[in-house]
Structure 1
């Protein structure tokens, strides 16, 4: 006897899911003639809104799909293929590129995943490492080696790491450079268990298909999993991760036949934490699951090496000293300084200085302007559209 397909208005649950429902990873070919259905759906939505940056959760709501985690994975894949650009300030946002518009939702060629439990050949100890988005990451010294090598050693021994520090210091970039096989879950206050495990998505024919979440994919494929902004995720939701990290290395999917998932060799969890972000809570349950905690700060020498003007670095160091003293709640890090250099090259030095002042939160803007004015020896105001000439 055939189990009825649920009505599109009522997403299936563990009790209502069709017994013959199929399952697929985000962006892969699910069943029949529906290759990359979710990928196309997200891509075409971005094509319809080409001038805007979008958060995964907003796209999930607009498209009426259950899992922002699946949407996030699609967006990461689009970014790696050059079909989208990724911006974080501090939230992850994505915008379609011309290449993505030209592709019109077509899946990019599958990127080969490096073999081996460590995610493939280790990046060299010296020189830049290329990230999936094509940008270079410059390894830094850590524990007598480089940060990239240290993360590889810890993965080999299954020692999970919690990276903490202000947004923009390079936590995500470090992990992406270290593990080419990386999957990512972007944490927010709206993250739910299904964003880890997966959920049913509606199909054009009115049926549903179960899409496995990043945690399930990472466990079964032996991949590294980054929980970005982990401390923004509700603790009860984050608890779904713990059985996969302890000696059991086994989880179950209650919403999909209580399916059992075992971690294979190579599965590894790393998390990022921004202590100064509003709503971030580092619980003892979370902190205790990570045996190594690494503070990530901005490398001022690297900023200089990458062409950031000395005055901008001096101002940033002054503002960061105020941040450490509790006088301000925001300070520019490497991400903002690299953005400063891009604006300087594209517009002018005064425009770049004014733009950096305008990026500061309103409550901190006076202190930021004072530091910039001192460093550059001129009066600074936030970048403002004036009256017509």
Structure 2
């Protein structure tokens, strides 16, 4: 009688191989809709890897996805073909807007790439917000980023806060893991650390870098230049030819990056404490400047006068005459405040959010372009008394003292 050994972990597969396995499972159960958790349990693969494979099948049109928060997947007419062979996506097919492509079961002698049609319509991000693609290298920006990912070319996005750097990455990569960097970010925040479990013992918890590497996912280091260079150094071995890191805090374990692992960084030049070191810059081969698309702001029906204010202030920033101008984030906030509190309050808030040293210049620009004599930051006024408080809402006809008198 033999004693069964410990359960073995299934060998890791390439993205295309796992995608074919997921397709085969769905094709074998055409009447079922399966969650990512269902597929993960049935195939014995990690939740993150299965998520990537299933979402890619849906993007390629080789499976149907139902829902977004807790998506379910089921077979369609293309699923059986996708299950026959491991097909690696050509450049661009990771894109959320890519059109469905029929999986090839044989490789032609001279491959002819099929161009992906440009998609300019809005893309819904994981949180439900819409992202409006912009042009980058004669491509939609999300498509360009996915081609760079397929070619293993790490990207650094730089520009003022509020210009849409994070939104672009979220729209491009549905499998994204994000690290919000600051001066307090530690190596443990990236790689992982021991945490206290319910029984009072300590268990190892993988950090976002280890998770992205083992599951082959995109990793955004947001505000990367606010993180200490000594901390960021933990990322570097995963980005060079080694594509692995050693986790000294966890028994010296070596973590190897799976296919699909893709680091992206965000940098806000001019922000206090932001330092773009040579070591960081040299590891991001593509560096893309991101500014506010004021034409998009106009298309989103933000007050054209306020967009003009922002354009003029941005021109002064370019000339070095000013340190701040409203970006798309501030313009969208203006629109929301205007809808709730009115134009005067929204303009006052726009002036108030400017840095103190630039506030007078911003107020002058608002005054000249919008036509209001004086604009001060949004401020609380005097205390309301009974005589100045808004009148209480009157009871509808048929109620009040007269009715109470009749009821006595």
TM-score by length of 1: 0.69
Distance 1:372 1:206 in 2: 59
User: What's the counterpart of residue 272 of structure 2?
Assistant: 278
Distance 2:226 2:299 in 1: 33
Question: By how many angstroms is 1:329 displaced?
Answer: 2.2
Is 2:226 the counterpart of 1:252?
A: no
User: What's the counterpart of residue 96 of structure 2?
Assistant: 122
Question: By how many angstroms is 1:122 displaced?
Answer: 3.3
User: What's the counterpart of residue 303 of structure 1?
Assistant: 297
User: What's the counterpart of residue 316 of structure 2?
Assistant: 322
User: What's the counterpart of residue 85 of structure 1?
Assistant: none
**Where does 1:57-76 land on structure 2 (aligned, <5 Å)?**
none
Q: CA RMSD in A?
A: 1.9
Residue among 347, 370, 378 paired with 1:383: 378
Distance 1:286 1:178 in 2: 22
CA contact (8 A) 2:95 2:146 kept: no
Distance 2:362 2:88 in 1: 47
Residue among 147, 161, 173 paired with 1:167: 161
Report SS of the residue matched to 2:255: strand
Distance 1:190 1:369, change over 3 A: same
Distance 1:259 1:315 in 2: 55
Deviates more, 1:261-270 or 1:324-333: 324-333
Distance 1:160 1:298 in 2: 22
Residue among 195, 220, 227 paired with 1:233: 227
CA contact (8 A) 1:119 1:181 kept: no
Please say which structure displays the higher CA radius of gyration. 2
CA contact (8 A) 1:224 1:268 kept: yes
Distance 1:354 1:155, change over 3 A: same
CA contact (8 A) 1:122 1:152 kept: no
CA contact (8 A) 1:119 1:266 kept: no
Is 2:118 the counterpart of 1:144?
A: no
Deviates more, 1:359-368 or 1:176-185: 359-368
5+ residue gaps, structure 1: 1-107
Cα deviation, 1:113-158, whole Å, max 9, x if unaligned, reads: 9x97789553251200001110100000110111000000000000
Distance 1:308 1:189, change over 3 A: same
Deviates more, 1:257-266 or 1:318-327: 318-327
Is 2:156 the counterpart of 1:182?
A: no
TM-score by length of 2: 0.66
Residue among 144, 150, 158 paired with 1:156: 150
Q: How many residues align?
A: 281
CA contact (8 A) 2:221 2:266 kept: yes
Moved over 3 A (4+): 108-113, 115-122
Is 2:240 the counterpart of 1:269?
A: no
CA contact (8 A) 1:358 1:382 kept: yes
Report SS of the residue matched to 1:163: strand
Question: By how many angstroms is 1:357 displaced?
Answer: 0.8
Report SS of the residue matched to 1:211: strand
Residue among 325, 347, 354 paired with 1:353: 347
Report SS of the residue matched to 2:283: coil
Question: By how many angstroms is 1:328 displaced?
Answer: 2.6
Distance 2:263 2:368 in 1: 44
